[in-house]
């Protein structure tokens, strides 16, 4: 099942610690029963980040939804998101930071909310903050 939603994952850098986070973020998408339609990963143009992303072992299903977009302008976090928005073809989008993950039923719940509240233009998800050992912070 697929939802009319694009995930934007903006990357400014991808050091060794961030590579682990990146793998977890991608895994949190791949484990969903309800999937986003598209995944846009935004990287700085001509950067090592694009090479790192290109060498990642995505599932076939993820490869089919994936677009890597190079940003040749400002590459701070917000500029990466704004650049990706120009490439979106779905009604909805979600921004996934490299060190975040979606809960296992996140997209399924988004579908329910979108169907139930068709007069709403934006939804803000509840989040759980944890540290690197997955201990609850807030």
**pLDDT tens profile 81-129:** 999 999 999 999 999 999 999 988 899 999 999 999 999 998 887 777 7
Closest CA to 66 of 113, 115, 114, 25: 25
User: What's the whole-model pTM score?
Assistant: 0.91
* pLDDT, tens only, 3-24: 899 999 999 999 988 999 999 9
Which helix (DSSP H) or strand (DSSP E) does residue 3 occupy? strand 2-10
- Is residue 42 a contact partner of residue 10, using CB atoms and an 8 Å limit? yes
């Amino acid at each position: 099942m697929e939802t009319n939603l694009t995930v934007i994952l903006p990357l400014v850098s991808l050091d060794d610690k961030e590579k682990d986070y990146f793998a977890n973020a991608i895994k949190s998408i791949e484990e969903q029963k309800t999937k986003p339609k598209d995944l846009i990963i935004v990287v700085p143009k001509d950067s090592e980040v694009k090479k790192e992303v290109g060498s990642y072992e995505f599932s076939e299903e993820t490869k089919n939804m994936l677009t890597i977009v190079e940003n040749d302008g400002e590459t701070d976090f917000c500029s990466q998101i704004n650049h990706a928005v120009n490439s979106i073809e779905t009604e909805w989008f979600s921004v996934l930071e490299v060190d975040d993950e979606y809960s296992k039923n996140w997209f399924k719940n988004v579908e329910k909310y979108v169907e139930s509240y068709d007069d709403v233009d934006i939804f803000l998800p509840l989040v759980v903050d944890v540290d690197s050992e997955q201990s609850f912070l807030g």
